[in-house]
Amino acid sequence: FVSALMTTKIPPHLQRLSKTRQQRSPINNEPPLFSHSSSPMKTDYICSLIPHPALDTTPPPVAPFNHRIVSAKPNQISNFYTINWQEVLGGGRFGQVHKCVENSSGLTLAAKVIKARSQKEKEVVKNEIQVMNNLDHANLIQLYAAYESRNDIILVLEYVGGGELFDRIIDENYKLMELDAVVFIRQICEGVQHMHKMYILHLDLKPENILCVNRATNKIKIIDFGLARIYKPREKLRVNFGTPEFLAPEVINYDFVSFNTDMWSLGVITYMLLSGLCPFLGDDDNQTLNNILACQWNFEEQEFVDTSEEAKDFISRLLIINKSWRMGASEALRHPWLSDSALHHRLYTKVEYAVLACIYHKLDE
């Protein structure tokens, strides 16, 4: 295995991640609010850096409908919904997501069109439906209805219009502060905690599968349960799928997975939010997987100079080869980085300084 860590810069020039994004993630052309940049901050969106409370722990808006138990109906979706086929919200290996409106209520929703011709493909989609039927939480996207035809199954989902968390990481024109990362990761942990409480493993956590509710706040919802599994610990689950950069070592080794398999992915996401770097990304998938198995990573990059020790400790308790030693979601929520109000106040002060610097730079132009 490759023992040397390949720590690769993420922003847009990196074709590998750009290609992954285009294939698997919602497409959005509006500029994100935040990103990492070592150069002076651009001030076109100076209002996006107006100080916010030390830690906003309020949940995102709930779906505009009560939680539903859904089964795929053999009806034509066009009888009940108007789908805007020209407006593509996202796309991936499964198909595309389009904006739609329910004819009877006028409710705006999202139609996820999944190619499913064979019985095996249809069963995979029905597993996704079953998983979502078990998940009722503000940080998890909600399922409204499902329709089955000969060649596809369409999931009608809660509409979330704020763009991907991925966009906020890779855009170089904006500054993502550590306190923003705290707010994002705390919500992801809360969503994961609920999933694990319901014995669901997501198994594909990554920034492309986390949507921002809107562009004015840091509220998020976890999406895409296409690879999720209902977890029965006594049955010893193995999986051989996922996105290379975020795979836990036990997945690569085809060993048993558990709740803490998702927590490894959370560690990678946290590292990326704080630095704009992927800790294990290699020149190709094989090198990436070898880097993960070697588990050699560090905080030596310039991007971590101002990162708190608590944040580093948080990551260090997740990116551990032995899954039984990793923090679970509940323990992660109790970690000082996510729970210490005194730390959050210090991070909030950094935001204030950033705003003042931004204003000074604007006046100096």
Q: Any idea which residues carry the catalytic annotation? A: 204
Distance CA 88, CA 97 (A): 6
Query: Who contacts 114 (Cβ-Cβ below 8 Å, separation ≥6)?
Result: 94, 95, 125, 152, 153, 154, 155, 226
Q: Is 19 annotated as a binding residue?
A: no
87 CB burial (10 A radius; 0-12, 13-18, 19+): exposed
How far does CA 124 lie from the centroid of its chain? Answer: 21
Rg over alpha carbons for the chain, rounded to the nearest Å, is 20
- The binding site for ATP comprises 112
- The binding site comprises 112
